[in-house]
Amino acid sequence: MAQQRGLRPNLKQIERRDWELWSIALILITVFGGGLILFLYSASLVPGTLPPSLSRFFGLLLFGLVGLVLLLNIYLIDKRRSLNQLRQVALEQEAELAEQARIAVTDPLTGLYNRRYFDEVMPSELDRAIEQQRGVDIILVDIDNFRKLNQEKGHLLADYALREFGAILKRCVRATDHVFRFGGDELLALLFGAKPDTTPIVEGRVHQFLKAHKRFQQRFGEPLTVSIGAATYKEGNTLEGLVEEAEVNLQAAKAAKAAHMPAASTPPDSAAPN
């Protein structure tokens, strides 16, 4: 990624340096050639000033100097065009590398960050947030009865539920927060710089958005709900510790919800990924 970010400015620096060198060379040749032409032309107006041999080849010399300037301009224009083509190829390669890097850290179903990005990048982000004394919260969300939904409604509708809910969760957090597909039907939001009341607000938004999404709910024939477990960073904790705490709170939320459900209702899924 660092190599990609450095490619564009480095290319511009090379382009600017070459253009400056070409401009200096063109100016020097033009000034020298113009001065020489002016001298020879002025001398040719005074009989006897130029040697007979030089006077005889004055026209040819003048033509050669003009031709040299023209050839130099053609050469510079060709080099400029070649450099532009090289720059275009480099930018296309940079865009391709950036797209490959995006795909490597993105879940193909939901478009959220994937578990790989969480495991590789977020520990260092947590360390940076701790150094800057910024609050860190984790919100772990699990779709209730997702296994049942998958079995009864089919994989396509279950995939649709994950995609839509991923979009809902992104709308409920800030643009600077990170949202992941953590595993199976579990989604995770990592909030840096969160205030003490941020997590309850986000949880409330999630439930409100999900309930208000009528078209989304109508596709399933029954209300689609989620359980949420959150955790807040405390001194000495780790990213793994935060996730474990959020999972414990998630299971507690699912157990509390099951305790209030009628006996004939289907209990919620376990936390194991599907």
Domain termination site, one of 76, 104, 132: 104
Q: Give CA separation, 42 vs 47, 49, 57, 97, 192, in Å.
A: 10, 9, 15, 61, 77
- Same domain? For 72 and 124 the reply is no
175's tokens: 């643009």
Count of residues making up the chain:
274
* Residue 177 annotated to the active site: no
- Same domain? For 127 and 255 the reply is yes
**Phi/psi-derived region of residue 203, left when phi > 0, alpha when psi is between -120 and 50, beta in every other case:** alpha
Give the separation between CA 172 and CA 206, rounded to whole angstroms: 6
Let me know if residue 165 belongs to a domain.
yes
- Same domain? For 36 and 96 the reply is yes
pLDDT at 271: 40
52's tokens: 């007979």
Let me know if residue 56 belongs to a domain.
yes
Enter the DSSP assignment of 120: H
pLDDT at 44: 62
pLDDT at 55: 57
The one catalytic residue in 18, 185, 197, 269 is: 185
Higher pLDDT, residue 157 or 7: 157
Give the separation between CA 179 and CA 169, rounded to whole angstroms: 8
Calculate mean pLDDT across residues 180-196: 91
- Same domain? For 171 and 228 the reply is yes
- Same domain? For 153 and 177 the reply is yes
- Give me the domain span that covers residue 60: 2-104
Domain termination site, one of 104, 134, 158: 104
pLDDT at 187: 95
Contact indicator for 206, 168 with CB cutoff of 8 Å: yes
- Same domain? For 133 and 244 the reply is yes
- Same domain? For 120 and 98 the reply is no
155's tokens: 């994989």
Q: Give CA separation, 38 vs 48, 58, 73, 116, 210, in Å.
A: 17, 12, 20, 72, 84
pLDDT at 222 over 90: no
- Same domain? For 207 and 130 the reply is yes
pLDDT at 52 over 70: no
- Same domain? For 130 and 240 the reply is yes
- Same domain? For 188 and 249 the reply is yes
- Same domain? For 10 and 68 the reply is yes
Let me know if residue 272 belongs to a domain.
no
pLDDT at 58 over 80: no
How many domains does the chain contain in total? 2
Handedness of CA 77, 82, 85, 87 (dihedral sign): negative
